[in-house]
Structure 1
Amino acid sequence: MRDLVQWLARELVEQKDAVRVEAIERDRATVFELTVAPDDLGRVIGRGGKTAKAFRTVLDCAARRQGRRAVLDILD
């Protein structure tokens, strides 16, 4: 799933080399911390947070297919 998050983020941003994804295992979930270049933060979040919500929905569906839970944190 880390690869999925990284791929989706790189498709959204202009500075692809600045995309960093860290996976942290917590109790019953995996937390993915996404870091992008400051100029690309708006592209990942989207107007009104719509892009971020769609990003989280895709991640949640992928996690549920594996019987897991995943959370996406977009760091600034």
Structure 2
Amino acid sequence: MMKDLILYMAQSLVDDPGAVQVRQIEGTHSVIIKLAVAPDDMGKVIGKQGKIAKAMRTLLAVTAAREGKRATLEIQS
């Protein structure tokens, strides 16, 4: 569910939704979500002063907390 949430948000923000890739690495009490987008779309995903990225991380943290886990979002180009 967390992977799908990040994928949906990222594809909605970027110009090239086909280039969006999301990987999920699960631990016992944590999840790492790795988001990769096209280099031209990095600014759209991060936003001014990181506001978009912070909002995505906040939503991810809430979703993870419901499952009793901690989540980290890593954004890569």
Query: Could you say which residue in structure 1 is the equivalent of 2:36?
Result: 35
Preserved contact between residue 33 and residue 73 of structure 2 (Cα < 8 Å): yes
**Alpha carbons 2:35, 2:74 under 8 Å: kept:** yes
TM-score of the two chains, using structure 1 as the length reference: 0.94
CA drift of 1:69 comes to 1.1
The number of residues matched between the two structures is 76
Distance (Å, rounded) in 2 between the aligned partners of 1:27 and 1:46:
31
Partner Cα distance (1:11, 1:58) in 2 = 15
The residue type paired with residue 28 of structure 1 is H
Report the equivalent of 1:19.
Answer: 20
SS at match of 2:61: helix
Gaps of 5+ in 2: none
Q: Identical aligned pairs, as a percentage?
A: 47
Instruction: Give 2:48's aligned residue.
Output: 47
- Do the aligned residues in 1 keep the contact of 2:20 with 2:38 (CA within 8 Å)? yes
Instruction: Say whether the 8 Å CA contact 2:46–2:53 is kept in structure 1.
Output: yes
Give the superposition deviation at 1:27: 4.8
After superposing on structure 2, the runs of 4+ consecutive aligned residues of structure 1 that deviate more than 4 Å are: none
Normalization by structure 2: what TM-score?
A: 0.93
2:15 aligned counterpart, secondary structure: coil
For 1:23, what is the secondary structure of its paired residue? strand
Q: Report the aligned-residue RMSD.
A: 1.0
Q: Helix, strand or coil for the counterpart of 2:25?
A: strand
